[in-house]
Structure 1
Amino acid sequence: MPQALFRHLYRYRRWYLLLLSALVLALFPNRQAPPQGRHLDDIRHRDFIAVFTRNTPTTYYEGRHGPTGFEFELIRRFADHLGVSLSMDASRNIEGVLDAVRSGEGDLGAAALPLDPTLEGLYFSRPILELQPLVVYRRGLPALREPADLMGRSVGAIRGSGAGLILRELQVELPELSWKEAADLEVADLLQRVENGSLDAAVIYAHQFKLNRLFFPGVENGFELGEPLSMAWALPSGQGLGLLEEANRFLYALQLDGTLDELVQRYFGHDDYLEYVGARIFINDVHEKLPDYADLFRKAARDTGFDWKLLAAVGYQESHWDPQATSPTGVRGLMMLTNPTAEEVGIADRLDPAQSIDGGARYLLQTMDRLPEEITGTDRLWMALAAYNVGLGHLYDAQRIAELRGGDPHAWTDVREALPLLQNREWYSQTRHGYARGGEPVIYVRNVRRYYEVLNYVDRSQQQFFQLNQRVPDEDDDSLFNTVPPVL
């Protein structure tokens, strides 16, 4: 067989196997198979579905308000679709999840599993999410920009994650390539080892790096490696096709109605927030500055009913958490209060961080309470923040402009469009309070929302992150990894 053809068949073998599997199922759907719906009937009879997953920020974890995670959201909806309760086991690694499903201990595996039709004893659902392998490397090393740059580097991967499939394909072209695989580590563990120098690089997935990069400013984005894989659910192959077909119908419906895209965006779509402020600066401030003031934000939140992270986001937008901040116009302190505002809320020392945070929180609450009662929900919060920045009078003027333009004066989306018009004589001449730099409150609210969402992510993920790193005992890394040798 010509060498080029051999390489082509080897590289794309999994796709040919997937196509062959689909053809076999289509042509011989009942051959040596149990009754079509037996497994699904068993689940409905016992009234629960047993799902095995992994305890990671991209799959399933305990958040502030209970279980959450991208795959948990999908599985919870699937259990509701079946009309049964949900039993989750997140104690296994990838290989353990697959073994549990293969043995029948679990009904379904949902653990960021790559679709691999070569695995025996398993069916895989239709693809759920594209998994783009990504090489990341330690900051300070020469840039890794192509596969050849991996030669001579210490490269790590998670066994069973699909990274090994891509690397083995790469070995056909680079037979001297070698890497390390570990079954009992997660993405955070690999990135930590890259940052501290135990590894030079790692192969993970792009969406995993987007979520975890917050905690690892010393890890660089290298290059995409190979073609994307597909994330799918795993099901036991010896119990009929009823559950598989029902899962595929369910996932297809989520794709059609937009729910799947919405979940992907919710969990993996906000990396630009950090890019806006500078990932390294912001996360450094979260770690270095915020702990000095977090308790003060929490106390102010208890007194006013706001989320403490929202108040912290306002403080970052105002001063980058600098209690000595002073503007050319005389606005001062961590929450950048004017003298009249400080007097209004009873603050004697604007440069005292406790007083500034307390005063800023109470002023925001007063501002919100003064808004018309027709403004509800998050619209009320965003407009209060805009008024905190530009003043209530100018916000009322923007509401009037929104109404004159045929919009809803009680909806932030319409008022947001009207605020910049306060800079145009054509419009501000029709208002009570006149000219204002109306574009600034729009940017102000946008930035506070971005900081707030990032802080929400850090808050719900930080405990999970440290749990992942503490899960591995202090032992020599060599005992955690198996080395995949070259194929010379």
Structure 2
Amino acid sequence: MSCSEPNGHTQLNKISAQNKIRIGTLVGASTFYQNSEGEQGFEYELAQAFADFIGVELEIVPFFNLSDLFPRLENGNIDIIASGLSINETRLNKYRFSPQYREISQKLVFKQGQKRPRNFTQLNGNLTVLAKSSHSDSLLEAKQKFEQLNWNETDDMDESELLQAIIDDKIDYTIADSSTLSVFRRYHPQLSIGFSVTKNEPVAWMLAKNTDDSLYALLIEFFGVIQKNGQLNILEEKYFGHVREFNYINTLSFIKATKKVLPKYKHWFEEYAKDLDWRLLAAMSYQESMWDPRAKSPTGVRGIMMITQATAKQVGVTNRLEPEQNIRGGGIYLSRLINRIPDRIMFPDKLWFALASYNLGWGHVNDARKLTEQSGADPDKWVDVKKYLPFLSKKRYYRNTRYGYARGDVAVTYVDNIRRYYDTLVWLDDQEVVASQE
């Protein structure tokens, strides 16, 4: 972007002189973390986009508790807090906020198998929340109505550790933001929601109250641009679009299968994934057959990758019930589908389109892309096309398409499920790496 050189000693002038912006964030699954693929996280990518927007380097300053994060902003050690924090009255009195870019709600969390509390009067055990958090603010407000309400606050654990403490039976209840909980439940399905503590609350970045308008003005411009050009929606889809739906039994069954069934076939997924991530091929196979080499559908697809007889001939599979052949054939076919997607479509969108094509056929997916374009949305972005795929089962839409009726809604669920399974496999892999280094 281009902007006029700021006059005087404004905050933006100092950032430009240092050629870097310091953005503080909490370490967490929905904000910023590091894994085998490097630095990741919704807030991290959003922060990087803002740094690129104003033409400076990004310095991410990670924190593990709010008690350290807020003073660093007040003392000028960081320029912005970007940590998915909600706007509430307490914070409005102390800080300045960017335009809101998401909404979250607070959930009372307990362990599956325990009696579900449906309001604060039904709590029977230890409730612990993060100190100086919006969760503690909500409890202070609730105590005006529920006088017997008591809780503990901690600086020694972060939100993820509090959730882990519930799993380990060290505490009975905590409060978590909906976005963090939706990500965490992919790996720990035994976490259950008792009730919503708040309605949806706006989320925004935070600046010190006494800052001038120079940086604030650019934040207004930045969020306006990324909302208009779709960049914010794409980022939201990447991190949260596939985790909103949660199924306890399904998630638990998958995690069990990774320990009992996957080891039998893992070496073939690794061998035949070729340029793909083997964990993606394995996730796709679980969605197709639950890693059952003898799986069969009424439509005639068979095997651990559930390929058709016609596809088997194309990729050289002579026995679809032989798992090694089937995995090899599925990997070849998926690679061919990826190569068929137009070059202008970038990853990871290209991958999501290929997965949908594996399930539905490229012709139907392309029909949905045309419907997307006719509606004024972007046919090259999965976040847009997934909204129009379900229209393929509605007569007023499919009668004007080349390939006709299709269950596009099934393809959307198919892709979302694979993404969830893949994320879980990546997480489990990272846990093994950490354990081996301890």
Contact persistence 2:22–2:59 (CA under 8 A) = yes
Where 2:83 maps in the other structure, the secondary structure is strand
Query: Do residues 107 (structure 1) and 79 (structure 2) align?
Result: yes
Match of 1:439 among 385, 388, 406: 406
**Residue 5 of structure 1 corresponds to which residue in structure 2?**
none
1:193 aligns with 2:165: yes
Q: Which moved more, 1:248-257 or 1:209-218?
A: 248-257
Match of 2:224 among 250, 256, 266: 256
What is the aligned partner in structure 2 of residue 89 from structure 1?
61
Tell me if 1:49 matches 2:21. yes
Q: Deviations over 1:242-286 (max 9, x none)?
A: 2xx244333433443415455444433433454599444445445
Query: What is the Cα deviation at residue 56 of structure 1?
Result: 1.0
Rounded to whole Å, the distance in 2 between the matches of 1:380 and 1:40 is 38
- Select which of 418, 424, 435 maps to 1:458: 424
Kept in 1: contact 2:243–2:420 (CA 8 A): no
Q: Does 1:136 align with 2:109?
A: yes
SS in 1 for 2:304: coil
Counterpart of 1:334? 304
The CA distance in 2 between the partners of 1:470 and 1:192, in whole Å, is: 20
Q: CA deviation at 1:351?
A: 3.2
Do the aligned partners of residues 137 and 127 (structure 1) sit closer, same or farther apart at CA in structure 2, a change above 3 Å counting? farther
Q: Secondary structure at the match of 1:173?
A: coil
Q: Give the drift of 1:352.
A: 3.3
CA distance in 1, matches of 2:273, 2:299: 28
Residue 140 of structure 2: aligned partner:
168
1:357-405 CA-to-partner distances (Å, cap 9, x unmatched) read: 0122224445666x6989976898677667756789xx59x97xx89xx
- Preserved CA contact (<8 Å) 1:421 1:427: no
Corresponding residue SS for 1:100: helix
Q: Which residue of 2 aligns with 1:222?
A: 194
What is the SS of the residue equivalent to 1:135?
Answer: strand
The Cα of 1:113 is off from its aligned counterpart by 3.9
Q: Does structure 1 retain, via aligned residues, the 8 Å contact 2:182–2:244?
A: no
Separation in structure 2 between the aligned mates of residue 263 and residue 368 of structure 1, nearest angstrom: 21
Q: 1:218 to 1:469 in 2, by over 3 A?
A: farther
Higher relative contact order (CA 8 A, sep 6+): 1
Matches within 5 A, 1:284-295: 284-286=256-258, 288-295=260-267
| Equivalent in the alignment of 1:3 | none
**Whole-Å separation in 1 of the counterparts to 2:390 and 2:272:** 31
> What is the aligned-residue RMSD (CA, Å)?
4.7
Q: For residues 418 and 52 of structure 1, do their structure 2 counterparts lie closer, same or farther at Cα, with a shift above 3 Å needed?
A: closer
8 Å CA contact 1:78, 1:250 repeated in 2: no
Q: Give the Cα–Cα distance (whole angstroms) in 2 for the partners of residues 342 and 62 of structure 1.
A: 39
The answer to whether residue 149 in structure 2 is matched with residue 181 in structure 1 is no
Aligned to 1:58: 30
Matched residue type, 2:296: T
Distance change (3 Å), C-alpha of 1:144 and 1:45:
same
Change (3 A) 1:254 1:293: farther
Once the two structures are TM-superposed, the CA of residue 323 in structure 1 deviates from its matched residue by 1.5
Counterpart AA for 1:453: R
Shift of 1:127: 5.4
Amino acid at match of 2:221: A
Q: 2:211 aligned with 1:241, yes or no?
A: yes
Alpha-carbon distance between aligned partners in 2 of 1:149 and 1:234, rounded to the nearest angstrom: 35
Q: Is the 8 A contact 1:124 1:232 kept in 2?
A: no
Give the counterpart letter for 1:195 in structure 2: I
CA deviation after TM superposition for structure 1 residue 416, in Å: 6.2
1:84-122, Cα deviation, whole Å (9 max, x unpaired): 211122144221122222333323333344556757996
Q: Where does residue 149 of structure 1 map in the other structure?
A: 122
* Aligned twin of 2:3: none
**Which amino acid letter does the alignment assign opposite residue 181 of structure 1?**
E
Task: Pick the aligned partner of 1:357 from 315, 324, 327.
Answer: 327
Unaligned ranges ≥5, structure 1: 1-34, 474-488
Instruction: Please name the residue that 1:9 is paired with.
Output: none
Q: Which SS does the other structure have where 2:26 is aligned?
A: coil
Q: Aligned equivalents of 1:266 and 1:101: distance in 2?
A: 29
SS at match of 2:189: coil
Report the alpha carbon displacement of residue 83 of structure 1 after superposing the two structures with TM.
2.7
Q: CA deviation at 1:221?
A: 1.3
What secondary structure, in the 3-state scheme, does the structure 1 residue paired with 2:148 have?
A: coil
**Sequence identity percentage:** 27
Is the deviation greater in 352-361 or in 162-171?
352-361
CA separation of 1:108 and 1:466: change in aligned 2, threshold 3 A: farther
Shift of 1:241: 2.3
Amino acid corresponding to residue 358 of structure 1 in structure 2: R
- Tell me if 1:449 matches 2:422: no
Instruction: In structure 2, give the amino acid aligned to 1:446.
Output: V
Q: Which has the larger radius of gyration?
A: 1
Aligned twin of 2:294: 324
CA offsets 1:270-318 (integer angstroms, 9 cap, x no match): 334545994444454455544543442232111xx33434433432333
C-alpha displacement at 1:470, in angstroms? 12
User: How far off is 1:80 after superposition?
Assistant: 2.7
Whether the 8 Å CA contact 1:134–1:223 is kept in 2: the answer is yes
Greater Cα offset, 118-127 or 342-351: 118-127
Q: Is the 8 A contact 1:368 1:380 kept in 2?
A: yes
Work out the CA distance in 2 between the residues paired with 1:416 and 1:390.
Answer: 10
C-alpha displacement of 1:196 = 2.9
For structure 2, list consecutive stretches of 5 or more residues without a partner in the other structure. 1-6
CA distance in 2, matches of 1:380, 1:232: 30
Deviation at 1:325, TM superposition (A): 1.8
Which range is displaced more, 329-338 or 56-65?
329-338
In 1, are the aligned partners of 2:190 and 2:248 still within 8 Å (CA)? no
Q: How many residues align?
A: 414
Query: CA separation in 1, counterparts of 2:23 and 2:328?
Result: 46
Which amino acid in structure 1 is aligned with residue 323 of structure 2?
Answer: P
CA contact (8 A) 1:214 1:283 kept: no
